[in-house]
Amino acid sequence: MTIAFLNDEFVPLEEAKISPMDRGFLFGDGIYEVIPSYGGKLIGLDLHLARLENGLNEIGINTPWSRGQLTDIFTELMKRNGNGNLGIYLQITRGVTMKRNHAFPANTAPTLFAYTFDIPAPVSGDPDKVTHWKVTTRQDLRWQRCHIKSTSLLGNVLHMMEGVNDGGGEILLFDANNQLTEAAACNVFVVHNNEVKTPPLDQHKLAGVTRDMALQILRAHSSLEVLETQITKDEVLAADEVWLSSSTKELEPVVSIDGDPVGDGSPGPIWAQAQSLFDLHRFDHFE
């Protein structure tokens, strides 16, 4: 039985209930985070909390919860759910009002919901244990505020379903100028001639915590050239390696795009090196 946290109490997930007048339900008016943990230890916590605060500030939700209080909630949730390999989902919405109105109401009490779900054990750079992603591509049709980790995810949901219906389960997105943005629920890295590249952050991408950690780890612990630079669709299609990054995947290799192999069609050596380094350093302190 999963234990969740809703409005100041721990409850079995099946018993957690919110009002249909919650603005998270009516408008997707909220911010969320997904924080991975292994054996009760949280990964990239400060980066996740900083992104949460940025998102809440950006959409004008004031919350009463300090970083310390949130961390205590996560610690108790992990404990009550067995301290295994757990993702923590946290969502803070603008709260409940009895009149539906697009404009923000003044002074609503935000709703905090959190629960845990099982995540796979990390793969330590082993190509036989990792998912080999076969993805397709689309023009990125989401909005201009993809840097906000908003619960309004319909644009991502529709792109993800294109990936699912294409048979791959993820999808690489490109802007109208054929520049890579990200995937439906991941950031993207490309390797070409031993150079590791990922697109720079702007309002078309989420500032992924895994992306940030991978950049910091590779810069500190490898001699690889690591660049944040625009990447065209042609460059992605000609890459030696392509990786997806997210909190629950860490780094995972893409082995084909639109039916054509990436490199030789198997996870590449730089991916194995990067994921092995991630394995050694995921519990480091990142800011």
Active-site positions read 149
> Which span sits near ligand PLP by CB under 6 A: 1-9, 79-87, 239-247, 259-267?
239-247
Q: Please, what is the minimum distance in Å from the beta carbon of residue 182 to ligand PLP?
A: 5
Query: Any residues with CB less than 8 A from the CB of 145 and at least 6 apart, and which?
Result: 203
> Which span sits near ligand PLP by CB under 6 A: 53-61, 62-70, 162-170, 205-213?
205-213
Q: Output 34 or 78, the one with its CB closest to ligand PLP.
A: 34
- CA atoms of 52 and 58, how far apart (whole Å): 10
Which of 122, 208, 253, 263: binder of ligand PLP (CB under 6 A)? 208
What is the number of other CB atoms lying within 10 angstroms of the CB of residue 251?
31
Q: Please, what is the minimum distance in Å from the beta carbon of residue 103 to ligand PLP?
A: 27
- CA atoms of 185 and 153, how far apart (whole Å): 10
Q: Please, what is the minimum distance in Å from the beta carbon of residue 185 to ligand PLP?
A: 4
Q: Does 206 bind ligand PLP (CB under 6 A)?
A: yes
Q: Does 247 bind ligand PLP (CB under 6 A)?
A: yes
Q: Please, what is the minimum distance in Å from the beta carbon of residue 269 to ligand PLP?
A: 23
- CA atoms of 64 and 89, how far apart (whole Å): 19
> Which span sits near ligand PLP by CB under 6 A: 104-112, 125-133, 209-217, 254-262?
209-217
Which of 209, 215, 239, 262: binder of ligand PLP (CB under 6 A)? 209
Q: Does 252 bind ligand PLP (CB under 6 A)?
A: no
CA-wise closest residue to 26 among 107, 117, 101: 101
Cα separation values, 162 from 168, 236, 256, 259, Å: 9, 19, 16, 15
Query: Any residues with CB less than 8 A from the CB of 254 and at least 6 apart, and which?
Result: 133, 134, 135, 172, 242, 243, 244, 262
Backbone angles phi, psi at 239, to 5 degrees: -70, 155
Q: Does 245 bind ligand PLP (CB under 6 A)?
A: yes
Q: Does 186 bind ligand PLP (CB under 6 A)?
A: yes
CA torsion sign, 90 to 93 to 98 to 101? negative
User: Applying CB under 6 A, which residues contact ligand PLP?
Assistant: 34, 156, 182, 185-187, 206, 208-211, 245-247
